[in-house]
């Protein structure tokens, strides 16, 4: 289905939990965040029902997010149930990678196609600092497990922050040259803890210039993905590089997605305030067609673009709105 600006909306980011096993500094405070009560979080069968409604509204691809989606009990069963739905072309997942060693192969067998692993540093001490205690070795085990299971392409999401990890840009580029990994550099956005910490984004033009000074890039339009990244490859590299300029280079004209929070709120735009309650109607016995109509309403509510640069820093936590 197309929205009011003629964008084909066919991609749903489906948050399945508000919980996480890390406490990243730009995502949440050290003490964590107040968690939703268990009865507020969508049950597995409710997630499947809403996914079915989304498919009838034109969604074709679903990405599971959180919090950290792999902490959700029975996530493999959920993937298997979603994979069985008519009309779903692809299931992917964004994770911090820590639980992938045990789950990569079962997820692949259940129908998961590929994964994105969030990783902002290649330095063990810095990783422990950023995540407040995380172990980088566990993430490497997760990346290797994903590659071994065939969850490809395996993408590495790097949020670049000035004075925080910008000194590792070339290290990540080298990783994409030497390994079959697809590194995506992302501008930090003024939302939640990132706004509170006043972390400054590094424009993707600057990131790209640093990379190209050492590794000449060539366009790679064939790199598989549903998102807003502009992708490049290397003449002799094994992976690829992508750039996502949420602030400096609006990708809104290419936006093809909706987001559904773990407690059942449909968000037409990550950076907007518009939300449509789906959990309430679902639990009151709404028919599938009534739920489909709500998804269509969400598509028609999508704004033409975000206005983060003019409206200032947003409240709310990425772990609670599906990232």
Taking CB atoms within 8 Å and a gap of at least 24, the contacts of 211-216 are: 211/169, 211/170, 211/173, 211/241, 214/170, 214/173, 215/173, 215/174, 215/177, 215/241
User: Taking the domain 11-321, which CATH number applies?
Assistant: 3.20.20.70
pLDDT by position in tens, the chain (length 323): 999 999 999 999 999 999 999 998 878 787 777 889 999 999 999 999 999 999 999 999 999 999 999 999 999 999 999 999 999 999 999 999 999 999 999 999 999 999 999 999 999 999 999 999 999 999 999 999 999 999 999 999 999 999 889 999 999 999 999 999 999 999 887 655 444 444 577 999 999 999 999 999 998 866 766 567 889 999 889 999 999 987 666 678 888 999 999 999 999 997 777 899 999 999 999 999 999 999 999 999 999 876 655 444 444 555 455 55
- Strand 265-267 and strand 276-277: the pairing is antiparallel
Q: Residue 4: what pLDDT?
A: 93
pLDDT at 249: 64
C-beta of residue 65 within 8 angstroms of C-beta of residue 13 = yes
């Amino acid at each position: 289905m197309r929205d009011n600006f003629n964008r084909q909306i066919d991609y749903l980011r489906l948050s399945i939990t508000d919980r996480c096993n890390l406490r990243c500094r730009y995502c949440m405070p050290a003490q964590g965040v107040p968690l939703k009560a268990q009865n507020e979080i969508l049950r597995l069968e409710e997630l499947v029902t809403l996914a079915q409604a989304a498919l009838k509204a034109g969604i074709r691809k679903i990405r599971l997010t959180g919090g950290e989606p792999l902490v959700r009990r029975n996530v493999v069963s959920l993937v298997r149930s979603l994979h069985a739905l008519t009309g779903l072309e692809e299931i992917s997942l964004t994770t911090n990678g820590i639980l992938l060693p045990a789950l990569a192969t079962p997820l692949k067998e259940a129908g998961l196609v590929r994964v994105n692993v969030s990783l902002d540093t290649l330095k063990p001490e810095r990783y422990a600092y950023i995540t407040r205690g995380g172990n980088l070795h566990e993430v490497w085990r997760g990346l290797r497990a994903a590659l071994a299971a065939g969850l490809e392409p395996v993408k590495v999401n790097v949020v670049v922050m000035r004075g925080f990890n910008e000194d590792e840009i070339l290290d990540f580029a080298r990783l994409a040259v030497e390994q079959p990994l697809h590194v995506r550099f992302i501008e930090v956005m003024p939302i939640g803890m990132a706004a509170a910490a006043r972390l400054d984004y590094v424009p993707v033009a600057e990131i790209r210039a640093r990379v190209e000074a050492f590794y000449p890039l060539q366009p790679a339009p064939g790199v598989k993905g549903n998102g807003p990244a502009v992708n490049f490859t290397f003449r002799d590299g094994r992976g690829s590089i992508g750039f996502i300029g949420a602030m400096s280079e609006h990708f809104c004209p290419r936006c093809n997605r909706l987001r559904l929070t773990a407690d059942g709120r449909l968000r037409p735009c990550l950076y907007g305030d518009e939300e449509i309650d789906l959990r309430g109607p679902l639990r009151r016995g709404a028919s599938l067609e009534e739920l489909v109509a709500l998804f269509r309403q969400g598509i028609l509510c999508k704004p033409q673009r975000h206005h983060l640069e003019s409206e200032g820093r947003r409240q709310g936590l990425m772990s609670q709105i599906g990232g």
